[in-house]
Every structure is written in C-alpha cells, then in structure tokens.
Amino acid sequence: MTSYLIGEAICSRWTGRPDTVFIDGILRKRDGVLLGVDKKALVRGVTEAVESLRERVNVSFA
C-alpha cells in the first residue's frame, strides 16, 4: 500500500469513511478518531511550513 493510500484510509477522504483502520496490525483509527496523533503539533507544523513557504516565495496565502 502506498503512502497516499494509507493517508486516504486514515483521513477518510472517500465516502466509505471507515470507522476503524488497522495498518500492519496496528490500530490507527477507532470510532472514526485517529489514534496517536498530536493534533496541536500537527497544526503547528503545518502552520510553520506554510509560513516558511510564504516567506520563500513572497506570496500571501488567503
């Protein structure tokens, strides 16, 4: 399974929206909730990456 497919399975981008996801025998999603994900750290990392990109290309993202 490619990283893209794993991401799709975990983030539920298709209409099936799986309730539970196991990857390599490890429970990654239960009752529709991602497990082991620090959401604040994830948002912080994405925010920093977008800011860095904005500074490098000198563009404002709306």
Kindly report, residue by residue over 6-47, the tens digit of the pLDDT.
666 556 555 567 889 898 999 988 998 889 888 899 899 989
Residue 27, in any domain of the structure:
yes
pLDDT score for 53: 87
Residue 62, in any domain of the structure:
no
The domain in which residue 25 lies consists of 3-57
3-state SS, residue 59: coil
Q: 9 versus 50: which is more confidently predicted? A: 50
Burial of 29 (0-12, 13-18, 19+ CB in 10 A): buried
Residue 42, in any domain of the structure:
yes
